[in-house]
Structure formats: structure tokens, C-alpha cells
Structure 1
Amino acid sequence: MSVRILALVGSLRAGSHNRQLAEAAVKHAPADVEVELFEGLADVPFYNEDVDVEGSVPEAAVRLRAVAGQVDAFLLFSPEYNGTMPAVLKNAIDWLSRPFGAGAVSGKPVAVVGTAFGQYGGVWAQDDARKSIGIAGATVLEDVKLSIPGSVTRFAETHPGDDHEVVAGLTEVIKQLTSQTATAAA
């Protein structure tokens, strides 16, 4: 059985190190695991309960929910913006949390990882993302973490997918997420 994991990246910047980290997860996922990098978070409008009614949900949000509904788990990649997670990631969580109690993330395993320029690698943002997605109904793997500090210098000339330490860390996160997915399905 193949496990499907949806990667959501909290940075929209083309050269984002978190996007590169997600690309590394896609590239280095085990043979029995498919990590899909979601494209289109920039197109999802800010969550508004007034438009979250049948027939009015924006197409980008419909697509996000549809893709998310087909996966077994989530892997969130969060940089740190002003000490917290980026709005685009929080917005995706908001859309995926609805309808409350039955959203696309409900009961599904989630791990949060990331990289940031600071000395702690974005841990505050990642902790906030864990809190938010947990409240949204996901099963957060609280002890599965990968926070890579100094992204600007560490990845100045090396793609995260070519950094053996990073690849080993990502592989372990995916392994833990896959293990939790099997446990959740049992």
C-alpha cells in the first residue's frame, strides 16, 4: 500500500528554502510513499465564512480541499515570519478545517518542519502551525520535528536535497509520518 502525503509550503517565494526542502521530501521519499507538493496556495483567497457555502466556495479552495481529501497525511513546511507562521499556511489550515469536525485534515497525521534564517530554524512558527492544525482536527506528531537554522547561509550554494544531514532528517520525518498513517488506518 502506498502512502500519500500532501506537502504544504508556507512560503510563496520562488527561491524559498522551505519550498526547496519540500522538493527534497518529494525527491527522497521512500518508494512506497508519494509526497505531493501542492501548487496553488497563493490562489486560495483568505478564508471567509460568507463564501464557504455550497455554490460559492472559490475554485482554488475547492481544489485544495479535494486534493487534501485524497491524501493520508500532511507535511507542512513553515518558515518564520515575524515570529510566527506565514498567513498563507494559516489560511490553508483554515480552509482545510471546515466543515468543523469533518474537514480534510480531520484525524489525519501531520508533521511540521521547516527552515529559517534565525538560529532556531523557525521553531516558533512551526509550533504555531502544530497548534493551529491540531485545533483544526489533525493528529499532530508533536515529537516529530525538523528545524533547520541559518537557511540563508546553509543553503546559499547547496540545495537542501543535496545536504545529507537534511535528507536524513527529512527521511526520518517521512518515516515517522508514514508509521503514524499506518497506525491511524488500523
Structure 2
Amino acid sequence: MKKLLFLSGTSHVGSVNWRLASAAAAITKQFFGDRIDPVTLDLMHFDLPSFEGASENDQPEDAVRLKAVFDGVAGIFMSSDEYTGTYSAVLRNGIGWLRLSDPNLRTPFDGTQVALCGSSGRGAGGLRGQPALQQLLNELGAIVIPQHLEMGTAESPFDASGALRPKAQKQLLEGCLGKLCGNILAVPAA
């Protein structure tokens, strides 16, 4: 079984992006569950002080715990909205701690396939934050899947009951989630 990590780049628990990452994990379990183990991650469950000015000797317990979640992942699905043209501070802080946890200042993103997805209840639906996040992930050595799924703001990807709409599920399976699962399954197990 290959471990696929699902996380939201937002600090708003219950947000569209948080729910989208959870829905993508459920879809993966449904369609690829015999070969992929979907693991969800909520950055808000980690008490991480600012990494600015910290050193590898200053590792808080939750930074070690965060690194352990990332260990051994075959891929990462990230749903993120945008914060004034970029990504959230909580995501940047978590990545900073991941980087400090490695003596060579590498992160678990290095060489890892990452699919980006985004949705927002207003504005451009995460569109403006995706280039900045992709640039950051590329700098960290991630292999970013070039097709991004943009749910946009015209219609929520979820219906009134909170279920993912069939159209959104189809977009995920035919888009970034399907590509990510196909790519990690094509790589032989180590």
C-alpha cells in the first residue's frame, strides 16, 4: 500500500478546501483503496510556534509529530485557497518546521508528487494563490502535477447536504487526483 497524504492549506477547519481534501481522500479510498492508503492531515491539530529564528535544535514536539506524518508518503494532495495572492501563513509555517526537521534543510516535498486543488467562497476561487504555492513547492523539489483543479466560485463543489457534487468528483478523478493516483501507482514500491 502506498501512503497518499491529503491536506488543506487553510487554517479554517470546515472550509471548502478542508472539506475538498477530505472528500478527495474518500474518493481515493473508494476507487484506489486496495492500493493506496489515504491519510488526512489537519495542520490546525499541530501546535507550531513561528519557525522564524528557530534552529534544528529547537524542534517542538508537534514539529516532530508533523514530520512523522509526512514520512513515507508516495504523494500529496493539497487543497488550498488564496490569501491575497499567496498561500496561508499556517501552511508556510508548517513547511518551515518540516524543513528545519531535516539536517540538510530538505522537506518531505523533495521528489514527491503533489497535486494542487483550490476553491474559495469568494474572489477568484484560489486561482491567484496557486502560482505562488506551485513556485514554493517547486523550490522545495516537489514534482507538481501541472493540471490544477479550480472549483471556482460560481458553484460550490458541495451540495446543500454537504456531499461532493458528481461534477466535482468527476473533475477530481479525471484531473489532478486521478493523475496523482496514476502517477504514484506507476512507480514500483521501494
Partner of 2:136: 132
Distance 1:155 1:177 in 2: 22
CA-based RMSD of the aligned residues comes to 2.4
**Deviations, residues 99-150 of structure 1 (Å, cap 9, x unaligned):** 3564222111111111013453211212211111110121111x22111111
Partner of 1:84: 86
**Deviations, residues 70-119 of structure 1 (Å, cap 9, x unaligned):** 21111111111222211111222223334356422211111111101345
Taking a change above 3 Å as real, the CA distance of residues 109 and 86 of structure 1, as seen in their structure-2 partners, is same
Partner of 1:68: 70
Taking a change above 3 Å as real, the CA distance of residues 68 and 117 of structure 1, as seen in their structure-2 partners, is same
The one-letter amino acid of 1:175's match is: G
- Normalising by the residue count of structure 1, what TM-score does the alignment of the two structures yield? 0.83
- Normalising by the residue count of structure 2, what TM-score does the alignment of the two structures yield? 0.82
SS in 1 for 2:128: helix
Uncovered stretches (5+) of structure 2, i.e. residues with no partner: none
Q: How does 1:37-186 map to 2 (within 5 A)?
A: 37-41=40-44, 42-53=46-57, 56-98=58-100, 99=102, 100=104, 102-118=106-122, 120-141=124-145, 143-150=146-153, 155=158, 157-159=160-162, 161-172=163-174, 173-183=176-186, 185=188
Distance 1:154 1:180 in 2: 25
Distance 1:82 1:155 in 2: 24
How far is 1:9 from its partner? 0.9
